[in-house]
Amino acid sequence: MTAAQADLQGDLRASLRIDRPTVADGAALWRMARDSKVLDLNSSYSYLLWCRDFAATSAVARDGHGEPVGFVTAYVRPDRPDTLLVWQVAVDEAYRGLGLAAALLDGLVARTAAEHGLTTVETTITPGNTASERLFTSFAERHRAGLEREVLFETGVFPDGPHDPEVLYRIGPLSLTTSA
Ligand SMILES: CC(C)(COP(=O)(O)OP(=O)(O)OC[C@H]1O[C@@H](n2cnc3c(N)ncnc32)[C@H](O)[C@@H]1OP(=O)(O)O)[C@@H](O)C(=O)NCCC(=O)NCCS
């Protein structure tokens, strides 16, 4: 990386702010999911509803103008209140490789841990999504937590054509003393 590229990355990073989503962010989250070309794109309605009802367990990163450039959506599992299920994570292409997804995840887990007494984070990843595998493996390492993997949903259970299996990553117990 050249010095100019490093400066640009530093400027980008410094301009970012992480907070909770609002309904006004729902459209931007839907667009980021669409533009990722990797995530399952759910209805725009579901992102709007998510921003209303699960804002407390989700986070957005905003640029200097307040526009969302990354997000993580998650919920506390109703039958396992010590477990945060991370549904989707996406970062705008221009902001990737800056540690933003890791910062979103660390910040969200620290916030929800304080409010809910979390011990475990779960997510599902489709095989071959290297960036996502690295994001969550390195999250587990940072928090000195165990990491177990098992297939949650096999290809055959999806009713709408071919779909890769979803592999459940269960990360815990978390050590949150050094987190963001
Ligand atoms: C996955 C994604 C959110 C990562 O965002 P990001 O802000 O660039 O990630 P970070 O810079 O915080 O990096 C987190 C870790 O992942 C690694 N990583 C990021 N992109 C990577 C890639 N393309 N290949 C391999 N590793 C990658 C980083 O090196 C870092 O690992 P480290 O902590 O061991 O150094 C982003 O690539 C994205 O939006 N992808 C499309 C949507 C998607 O796949 N979402 C995940 C499924 S829920």
SS3 category, 116: helix
For the chain, count helices (H), then strands (E): 5, 7
Minimum CA distance residue for ligand 1 atom 25: 131
Calculate the alpha carbon distances from 153 to 9, 36, 85, 112, 117 in Å: 38, 22, 15, 26, 27
- Inform me whether the pLDDT recorded for 104 exceeds 60: yes
Q: What is the reported pLDDT for 178?
A: 41
- Inform me whether the pLDDT recorded for 109 exceeds 50: yes
d(CA 67, CA 65): 6
d(CA 157, CA 86): 21
**Mean pLDDT of all residues in the chain?**
93
Cβ < 6 A, ligand 1 pocket: 36, 38-39, 88-91, 96-102, 129-132, 134-135, 138
- Inform me whether the pLDDT recorded for 91 exceeds 80: yes
Q: What confidence category does residue 8 fall into, taking pLDDT thresholds of 50, 70 and 90? A: low
- Inform me whether the pLDDT recorded for 72 exceeds 70: yes
Q: Measured in angstroms, how far is the CA atom of residue 101 from the centroid of ligand 1? A: 7
HSE (CB half, 13 Å, CA atoms) of 95? Answer: 28
SS3 category, 162: coil
Ligand 1, pocket-test mutation among 31, 88, 96, most atoms within 8 A of CB: 96
Q: What is the reported pLDDT for 177?
A: 56
What 8-state DSSP symbol labels residue 95?
G
Residue 54 vs residue 161, higher pLDDT: 54
Q: Measured in angstroms, how far is the CA atom of residue 124 from the centroid of ligand 1? A: 15
Q: Smallest Cα–Cα separation from 103: which of 139, 75, 79?
A: 139
Contact indicator for 14, 61 with CB cutoff of 8 Å: no
The stretch 119-124 carries a mean pLDDT of 97
